Amino acid sequence: MSKFKKLTTVLLALAMMAIFSQSAFAADPYYTNPNGSTRTASLLTVGTTASDFISFAMEEDYYKVNVEKGKLVKITLNSPWGNCAKYFCNDYLPRTNYDFAVFELVNGVIKYVTPFGSYVEGGKGGTDSLMFYSSGNQYYIKVSGHPEAPIGKDPYGNPIYNYHYSAIMPYHLNASYLNFNF
């Protein structure tokens, strides 16, 4: 009876592990990004900085920004240093590169914002920036990992990208007014 009990215990333990475990590299199936759409966008107040993580390759974070009409607005995004241990980063560790896009809500339609100048790409571990004149509408900012060169092709011939992300080091997003009115 003792061998039967041990065997039953081992089989039950193995069954429980198989049913309730997942790969350490798999995305959490229960994770819901709290700011993963324009509907659930976090509020970013002009003059403040938001910090968050792009925790997996295809994650996108959205922010809602209310700005005054007729102002020159500057958005900056500081991409984090890459997979750094807590309190330890150096030039030998990889850096991440994130991008952002600014959208404007006009009469219920979301469209890209026309920048004043051009989008400045800061690269890995750098600062991206964009300036635009405010029309006083609701604005959204989408932050996402920057894709490197394609790493291959899918069965249909479409390129496959490896997007940057870091669950260890946060990015920093800022909206500010520049001292210029028109």
| Domain ranges across the chain | 35-181
* Cβ proximity of 129 and 136 under 8 Å: no
Q: What pLDDT shows up at residue 122?
A: 86
Spatial separation of the C-alpha atoms in residues 1 and 68, rounded to whole Å: 78
Question: Model confidence over 12-46: pLDDT tens digits?
Answer: 555 555 444 443 444 555 566 788 888 999 999 99
Q: What share of the chain is helix, strand, coil (3-state, %, to 5)?
A: 10, 45, 45
pTM of the model: 0.72
Name the residue with higher pLDDT: 117 or 46. 46
At residue 176, the pLDDT reads 95
Look at the block and give the residue holding tokens 């039953």: 8
pLDDT, averaged across the chain: 78
pLDDT tens, position by position, 131-179: 999 998 889 999 988 877 667 777 788 777 667 777 678 899 999 999 8
Whose CA is closest to 45, among 180, 139, 143, 182? 139
pLDDT of residue 25: 40
Architecture category of domain 35-181 in CATH? Sandwich (2.60)
Kind of pairing between the strands at 42-43 and 109-112: unpaired
